[in-house]
Structures are given as structure tokens and as C-alpha cells.
Amino acid sequence: MENIASLATVNLTLSLGPLVALIAGILILIMPRLLNFIVALYLIITGLVQLLHLPW
């Protein structure tokens, strides 16, 4: 009889881009005044990730 744990494996991968977009979208819905700050922060993070060749 095979081990049940070996049959039920789940591969979960999270990317930073979609996660940041989801959090930013939720924050903008809750507090629309944060829009400029969130967009600026997103652009800074995206620029740093691309300059440093980090996995996005």
C-alpha cells in the first residue's frame, strides 16, 4: 500500500508581482487617498527588481 502523503502533493508557487498587485488593489479600495503612494511604491519596487534582476 502506497503512502497517502506521496499521492496528495500540492505544488504552490507565489509570485511577488500578482501578490503586490492584489494587496495594492485592496488598499486602494479601502483608502482611495493611498493611490499615489501605492503607485509610486509599486513603480519603485518594479524598477529595483528589474535593475537587480530579482525573480518577480
Residue 8 within a domain: no
| Contact predicate 27/20, CB 8 Å | no
For the stretch 3-25, pLDDT in tens is 555 555 666 566 777 887 888 88
Residue 2 within a domain: no
Residue 5 within a domain: no
- Whole-number percent of the chain with pLDDT over 70: 73
Residue 23 within a domain: yes
Residue 36 within a domain: yes
Mean pLDDT of all residues in 40-54: 85
| Contact predicate 17/50, CB 8 Å | no
pLDDT of residue 28: 85
Number of domains the chain is built from: 1
Does residue 56 have a pLDDT over 70? no
Cell 503586490 locates to 20
**Which of the pair, 14 or 33, is modelled with greater confidence?**
33
Mean pLDDT of all residues in 49-54: 84
- Residues of the domain holding 48: 15-56
